[in-house]
Amino acid sequence: GLEKAYKREPVLRGVSFCVEPGNVLGVCGNNGAGKTTLVSVLASVLPADAGRISLMGVPVEAGVPYRRMIGYVPQGIALAPRLTVRQNLLFWASVQGLHGSEAREAAAEAARLSGSSAFLEKQVARLSGGMARRANLAAGILGRPQLLLLDEPTAGIDEQTRDVILEAVRVQRNRGTIVVMVNHYANEMAAVCDRIITLRDGVVGEGMASRVT
């Protein structure tokens, strides 16, 4: 299982799970349980101290090939504030190895699915909170990732934006994407998750993995 510690204090302790393509795994738990650390390790933002991560046979140690298979939507807005939404999406498309018309088409599709098309030419710094969340999601789903990692994607947003984001998650699932979503809203988890695990002090709580029916 995955192990991660900060200053010798264990944060993840033997976390282990498998998710099939076309499934949404919900991760819940109290503050400090290790949820954000888990997603950061899966996104290769943080290295694990021990354990193995593999996506379709590609290990996280592969670096760029692994990272190009994933989409990561962190809690914070991971977009350049002085650039427009379109400019940000084209930048992230280039990171994914997409250029020219391919990049433009990927950006347009991501904007459509995230409900961001109406403000593509707007500077990120001038977006409302809900708009910024949608644009953040657009960057994560760009290029049809095989693994989509979402860290509290609906925290502090309006109901309409929440519905758009949850519908985008359903679309990704229907495309065969593996989705791992950290969320603390039980009704949202039940609406989109195929399975839910609960982290407690860095451990998957015994008996806390459940299938949503």
CATH classification at residue 11: 3.40.50.300
Residues 138 and 154 in one domain: no
Per-residue model confidence as pLDDT tens digits over 179-202: 999 998 888 999 999 999 999 888
Residues 159 and 63 in one domain: yes
Domain count, the chain: 2
Domain that holds residue 108: 79-144
Q: Is the pLDDT of residue 30 over 90?
A: no
Residues 130 and 171 in one domain: no
Please state, in angstroms and rounded to a whole number, the distance separating the CA atoms of residues 14 and 3: 6
Provide the β-strand partners of residue 182: 27, 151
Does residue 91 lie within any of the structural domains?
Answer: yes
Range from 6-10, 127-131, 169-173 carrying the lowest mean pLDDT: 6-10
Residues 97 and 134 in one domain: yes
Residues 12 and 50 in one domain: yes
Residues 150 and 65 in one domain: yes
Per-residue model confidence as pLDDT tens digits over 68-120: 999 999 999 999 999 999 999 999 999 999 999 999 999 999 999 999 999 99
Share of residues in the chain with pLDDT > 70 (%): 96
The pLDDT score that the predictor gives to residue 208 is: 44
Does residue 60 lie within any of the structural domains?
Answer: yes
Please state, in angstroms and rounded to a whole number, the distance separating the CA atoms of residues 43 and 209: 22
| Confidence band, pLDDT 50/70/90 cuts, at residue 209 | very low
Residues 44 and 90 in one domain: no
